[in-house]
Structure 1
Amino acid sequence: MVEARFQIFLILLTVLAGTALLARRFNIAPAILLMLAGVGLAFVPGMPQVELPPELVLLLVLPPLIYSASVAMSWREFRNNLRPIVLLAVGAVIFTAAMVATAAHFLIGMPWTVGFLLGAIVAPPDVVAPLAIARRLHMPRRILVVLEGEGLANDATALILYRFALAAIMTGSFSLPLATGEFFLIIAGEVAYGVGVGWLSLRARKWARDPQVEITLSLITPYLAYWLPEHVGGSGVIATVACGLYVSWNGPLWISSATRLQGIFFWDLVIYLIEGILFLLTGFQMRALYEKSKAFPLDEILIATGVVVVIVVMARFAWVYPATYLPRILSPSLRRRDPSPPWQWVFTLAFTGVRGAVSLAAALALPFVLPGGEAFPYRDLILFVAFGVIFITLVGVGLGLPKVVRWLGVAEAGRSEHVAEHEAEIAARRQALDAALRSLDALAEEKELSDEVVSLLRARHDIRVNQLPCSLDPASLGLSAAGTRLTRELIAAERTFIHELLRDGKITDEARRRIERDLDLEEASLANREFQRVPL
């Protein structure tokens, strides 16, 4: 049994790597191909059925995904865009859930409580797939920030609504004032708890002063932030987001460079594997759903899925436009401070509404029976609809978004921002080097450094200055790119020579590893400093 599971895991990893190569070759979002690959694998003869345990997503997978995205996000940008983020992460989710509940009640015949449960399941857009597509399309920075902020926080709103609706079905009672008060209490409590966990994590990591221990503590942090609020009746998502944003803002002053370098690689690999396997396992659920669908009329499944997909898409458009323009109409000060964005940006934001594995996990987590012993109402139909919404929005938006962005010309603004950002980065690097040079002059006088030491440090400074392009014009970029290519060739020559010394027994393996680490860091630094022209 263990061997069979390990073989399935190896198959998933192989498919994950192969699909990533195909996605890069054909310039398609990996999430789309991974889900399609999962669906295809599910029906391969002899392939055992692989179920997606809901607790795997909600308790083991979701915390590191949310925490990693929160740490990567800028707290300043999150704070500056808090109004649109809250309007989408809270308002749009509640509005979409209400619209789905209304349609499910009047068009499908579901009870109101079951309709709200279905609405809570399919309301929150995913954060992974649309952001991966949007970044590759060079969308304006503000659209990316709002999408990322919405994706981080909307799961909390949806999971809280999910718990309220599920409790109403299980107990047969619901109080809107009580639920509203509890909703805001949960949010406030989770924010305070998440910030406290972030503060404790950074202090513990600074006290540890060991990269392996610090990375281990960083892996524990999202679970500590998520599990306790989730266990006492909250969502855990807001606490994890608050924790990640706190670490993002304060971490640079507390985390050592060695830990940061190793931690970036570790977290990139962990998130890559989690996201890839999650989309594969989501596709795998198609087989189990297909077997269950035989007990349902096909037209009932198709009609219910079609109705909910249309409502989900229309509800997002119906919310995004008023949420964008109405506050500016009502508030002249807001209109002056933050003018209305172009309608093309608003349309792109409304169009990008992909549902993900959290929706499927919430559907799979539904109980099979009610407290009285009767079957949970519409459970299998909710599963079919949730999977259908995920599949249609992921494939539809994933394949359609590039065409929409090109049609609207949204990427042009993104390219302009990209150029301005790199110009500012070049200026910042030069200013930082100037500050370091002034500091060197002060240290040389204060510590009475020898001329040889000062000359060596000045030479290092001059080398770093010369590595920066003068600007982003083609001539300067071409010169910088040529220098980068030649430097890589020189590093390759050093590697070859070091290998020959090792082979001839003139240095030890330990010495070779230390030299290679320096060469690796230099090559990584080249890649980090490389300025490319913005794709057209």
Structure 2
Amino acid sequence: MDAIHPVPELVWAVFSLLLVALGVYLISRRTRLPFTVMLVIVGIAISYVGSNVPALAQVEETLRISPDLILFVFLPTLIFESSYNLDVRQLRHNSVQILALAIPGLLLSTGLIGVIVWQALDIDLLAALLMGALLSATDPVAVTALFRQIGAPGRLSTLIEGESLFNDATALVVSKILLTTLAIGALSANQLAGGLLSFITLFAGGLAFGVMLGYLTAKVIGWIYSDPILEIGLTTALAYLSFLIAEEVFQVSGVMATLGAGLTMGTWGKLRVATSVRVYLEHFWAVLAFTANALLFLLLGMQVDLNSLASVWDLVLWVILAMLVSRALVIFGLLPLVGRLPKVDPIGIGYRFIMFWGGLRGAIALAIVLSLPEYPFKELFVALVTGAVLFTLLAQGLSMQPVLRLLKLDQPPLADRLALLEREIIAHQRAIRRLPALHQGGLFSSRVTQRLNHRSHHAIEKAKKEIRQLRKTQLSHDQEFNLFFLRALTEEKSYYREMFERGHLSESVTRRLLMTLEHQTDTLRYNGQFHNGTGRLQYEYIEHWLFSRFSSTPLLHNLIERMRIARIGRYYETVWGHFQGSRHVLHSIDELASIESTPSDIVARVREHYTHWNHLATDKLHRLNHDFPEFALLMQERLGRRIVLLSEVETTREQARHGAIPSGAAEEIEAELLHQLKRLRGQPVQKIYDDPELLLKRVPLFAKLPARLLRIIANSCEPITLEKHDYLVHQGSHNDTLYIVSRGTVRLQHYINGEEHRLSTLIAGDSFGESALLGEGHADLSVIAQTPSRLYALSREQLQTLMEQDPELKSLLADSNAQQQIIHQHNQDMAPE
């Protein structure tokens, strides 16, 4: 935008075009014509009649399309919104084909267009290759907007959108190399090597920077609890700053940076956005993308100079022919070769034809050609690129929906059709349950109720009949099993998200559970096979070699212990989540089956798998509760505290709504409660008895000592780490040490005539060895770790040294009451289980 225009004229121009776009949008919804194509046509009309209408002429003069306007104003919004909503699982599954089209495919297209244009037009080969680079990159803005409106199949949309999002960096690099070559006048090996390095830097560097910035933004959003202004504002800043910093500071691809930021936020970061904000965020970006799309394509149409195009119409036809031929060779020649690679899902002929015909060009090509420096062919290139873009938007864009219908690709896949019929059944069942309440409320005709009830029953029967017809004609038994199993997995996935939103699962564990489900659904969806899934509950033993090797190192000991506790806590929470999720599906499976009258044998097979998973999780929970009882108690305590806090939040909102408490006070109370809930989110290990000072207070010998003396003794305690089945004390060995259990369980046992007698089991906070600390040093029992455990040890020598240094400690420990407590504790230790 030119800064010399007064602000009122700029505001007048922008919002006048926005009103025009809203009118076009309304017409597009009614006529089902592509919105972006209609915007271009209206833009051309505005440009054509602008000379006779002063108001339109003023708008056209105030807003002129420019490279900076496209790249720095419109593109960040459109790329971020598109990548944020992109199906990343589809993108990952088709990544080989997408990258093949975005890099070697674009290079091949550049060469083909360049050669054809070179032969047909009287220009140099290097200039013709530059034209090929300009027209080889499909436009993500045009493609995304069109395919979303016409409802293209999911995989097809991902293939075309993914290619158009990724090939922009390749086109920019090739354009820069060719511009440098044109300035020099010859192409050298050094230039090719430098161009390759430049491509890697621009492409990979931009993507890496965007992913990193998206990750940092998502981390910050995770620290904020349900604040729409901050969360939406941060994503807006992310979209633009990722583009600007990448382009202006690091000299890498801004498009790739914004793409990486959007993909990161749409996958890893979406879970960190508060549930109450997520809907606002999606609506905000939808409105922002609509505004950018509307203004961009109107300005694109206003850029078209029909007189200029008419003067070079024959050259435009050659460029269009070159563009179509090169696109056909890439799609129908390169893609089949890529489809033969291992683990690559081939693309059918129907999809390939749509990819050929749907390779639209748009604002990106115009931005590149308008940003070219002045040279003899620039004006010609602007006209030719404008003509080619206009052809793809009008001819290909307008015919895309009929072509999809002709190839029968406009029909939703079988799973979606079943889901739509299922929706019909559920909606009318709900209506049947609610209609009687209208009649019972009075002043509502029973005849109307009966008529509506009859219509709902008829709609349910019709939907069930269509389901039976699909099952009979298009659905094999294995396919139906896969579809029903996918529905069960979707139910489980939804439940995990609900548990996370309620704060019962941590973010890391929720991601892990969802990742497991996504692997399972991908196996079913893409391979048509069922993965048994027993590995999903495989016990993840702690890396014994790591802990045993470094736990005795003073500098790393505390770090290793924190890692060990965190690992056990995550594993416990994961197993608990599997237990809750499998139980929920088992409770819901009959309701899921009743909607579509799924055959009983399929329901039984799915129930068998979930029952097996639930039994595995139950066994693991029993084992973990036995091995790590403190984790179980702390998990239960955290869950109970969250339920109490959630009850307080609901009560506060209800009283504020009824006016029982002032709204300002309610907001403050709710904010504090939500803060406490956030602190409890996903923290199963809130407090482990790992402070030796706190542990010493639980020992009868030291229970009444002042804090100063406890601190002195605690500093002398030495941490000990044991693996499962490790012996701490052997019966008959010399022992003069007090041991306090910080984590895990240890068993005390006694051998008489070679026969084992188990005495007691100690858990976190328990202690043994008080008598050995003050008495004789021969152990009459063995101490064995039942689980990976951590203890603190205080030897008699250490205690005596402390007593000699502090007379008060010596006096207090000599108290006879303490001696009696020691004897009592020793008798308890020796009691059999």
TM-score (norm 2): 0.49
Match of 1:198 in 2: 214
Q: Which amino acid aligns with 1:98?
A: G
Match of 1:372 in 2: none
Alpha carbons 1:363, 1:386 under 8 Å: kept:
yes
SS at match of 1:355: coil
Q: CA deviation at 1:27?
A: 0.6
Q: Which amino acid aligns with 1:312?
A: M
Find the partner of 1:98 among 105, 111, 120: 111
Structure 2 unaligned segments of length 5 or more: list them. Answer: 1-5, 421-482, 505-587, 598-658, 668-833
Match of 1:459 in 2: none
Q: Which amino acid aligns with 2:313?
A: L
The separation in 1 between residues aligned to 2:498 and 2:169, in whole angstroms, is: 48
Match of 1:392 in 2: 391
Question: Kindly tell me: are residues 308 and 428 of structure 1, through their superposed partners in 2, closer, same or farther at Cα, counting changes over 3 Å?
Answer: same
SS at match of 1:411: coil
Match of 1:415 in 2: 413
Match of 1:214 in 2: 231
Match of 1:326 in 2: 337
The question of 1:341 aligning with 2:347 is answered: yes
Match of 1:25 in 2: 30
Q: Which amino acid aligns with 2:112?
A: M
Question: Kindly tell me: are residues 159 and 417 of structure 1, through their superposed partners in 2, closer, same or farther at Cα, counting changes over 3 Å?
Answer: farther
Match of 2:195 in 1: 179
Find the partner of 1:59 among 72, 75, 78: 72
Q: Deviations over 1:241-293 (max 9, x none)?
A: 2222122221133211233122111111100000111000001112xx357x3
Matching of residues 289-300 of structure 1 within 5 Å: 289-290=305-306, 293=308, 298-299=310-311
Find the partner of 2:281 among 252, 263, 288: 263
Alpha carbons 1:88, 1:154 under 8 Å: kept:
yes
The separation in 1 between residues aligned to 2:217 and 2:154, in whole angstroms, is: 30
Q: CA deviation at 1:434?
A: 7.2
SS at match of 2:372: coil
The separation in 2 between residues aligned to 1:68 and 1:203, in whole angstroms, is: 19
Question: Kindly tell me: are residues 468 and 99 of structure 1, through their superposed partners in 2, closer, same or farther at Cα, counting changes over 3 Å?
Answer: same
SS at match of 1:43: helix
Q: CA deviation at 1:432?
A: 5.9
Match of 2:362 in 1: 356
Matching of residues 66-81 of structure 1 within 5 Å: 66-81=79-94
SS at match of 2:256: helix
Matching of residues 138-177 of structure 1 within 5 Å: 138-172=151-185, 174=187, 175-177=191-193
Q: Deviations over 1:105-142 (max 9, x none)?
A: 22112222322222222211122333444344443321
How many pairs does the alignment contain?
440
Question: Kindly tell me: are residues 325 and 211 of structure 1, through their superposed partners in 2, closer, same or farther at Cα, counting changes over 3 Å?
Answer: same
Match of 1:311 in 2: 322
The separation in 2 between residues aligned to 1:222 and 1:435, in whole angstroms, is: 29
Q: Which amino acid aligns with 1:199?
A: Y
Question: Kindly tell me: are residues 436 and 117 of structure 1, through their superposed partners in 2, closer, same or farther at Cα, counting changes over 3 Å?
Answer: closer
The separation in 2 between residues aligned to 1:264 and 1:358, in whole angstroms, is: 25
Q: Which amino acid aligns with 1:285?
A: Q
Q: CA RMSD in A?
A: 3.4
Matching of residues 209-248 of structure 1 within 5 Å: 209=225, 210-231=227-248, 232-248=250-266
Match of 1:403 in 2: 402
SS at match of 2:33: coil
Matching of residues 454-493 of structure 1 within 5 Å: 471=595
Alpha carbons 1:74, 1:245 under 8 Å: kept:
no
Question: Kindly tell me: are residues 325 and 466 of structure 1, through their superposed partners in 2, closer, same or farther at Cα, counting changes over 3 Å?
Answer: closer
SS at match of 1:234: coil
The question of 1:16 aligning with 2:49 is answered: no
The question of 1:274 aligning with 2:279 is answered: no
The separation in 2 between residues aligned to 1:58 and 1:438, in whole angstroms, is: 41
TM-score (norm 1): 0.74
Q: CA deviation at 1:152?
A: 1.1
The separation in 2 between residues aligned to 1:111 and 1:433, in whole angstroms, is: 59
**Larger % of strand: which?**
2
**Larger % of helix: which?**
1
Question: Bigger relative contact order, structure 1 or 2, given CA contacts below 8 A and separation 6+?
Answer: 1
Q: Which amino acid aligns with 1:193?
A: F
Q: Deviations over 1:122-176 (max 9, x none)?
A: 2111223334443444433211111111121111111222222223334445421
The separation in 1 between residues aligned to 2:281 and 2:237, in whole angstroms, is: 13
The separation in 2 between residues aligned to 1:187 and 1:438, in whole angstroms, is: 38
Alpha carbons 1:105, 1:115 under 8 Å: kept:
yes
Match of 1:250 in 2: 268
Q: CA deviation at 1:470?
A: 5.3
Q: CA deviation at 1:325?
A: 1.6
The separation in 2 between residues aligned to 1:183 and 1:278, in whole angstroms, is: 28
Q: Deviations over 1:409-445 (max 9, x none)?
A: 2234x43242366676864564467779999xxx9xx
Question: Kindly tell me: are residues 263 and 433 of structure 1, through their superposed partners in 2, closer, same or farther at Cα, counting changes over 3 Å?
Answer: closer
The separation in 1 between residues aligned to 2:220 and 2:128, in whole angstroms, is: 45
Q: CA deviation at 1:4?
A: 2.5
Match of 2:804 in 1: none
SS at match of 1:241: helix
Alpha carbons 1:430, 1:465 under 8 Å: kept:
no
Q: CA deviation at 1:3?
A: 2.3
The separation in 2 between residues aligned to 1:355 and 1:437, in whole angstroms, is: 42
SS at match of 1:161: helix
Alpha carbons 2:169, 2:253 under 8 Å: kept:
yes
Q: CA deviation at 1:324?
A: 2.2
Alpha carbons 1:160, 1:234 under 8 Å: kept:
no
Q: Which amino acid aligns with 2:417?
A: V
Question: Kindly tell me: are residues 432 and 357 of structure 1, through their superposed partners in 2, closer, same or farther at Cα, counting changes over 3 Å?
Answer: closer
SS at match of 1:248: helix
Question: Kindly tell me: are residues 343 and 172 of structure 1, through their superposed partners in 2, closer, same or farther at Cα, counting changes over 3 Å?
Answer: same
The separation in 1 between residues aligned to 2:302 and 2:383, in whole angstroms, is: 13
Question: Kindly tell me: are residues 418 and 436 of structure 1, through their superposed partners in 2, closer, same or farther at Cα, counting changes over 3 Å?
Answer: closer
The separation in 2 between residues aligned to 1:362 and 1:96, in whole angstroms, is: 17
Is the radius of gyration larger for structure 1 or structure 2? 2
Moved more, 215-224 or 161-170: 161-170
The separation in 1 between residues aligned to 2:159 and 2:172, in whole angstroms, is: 20
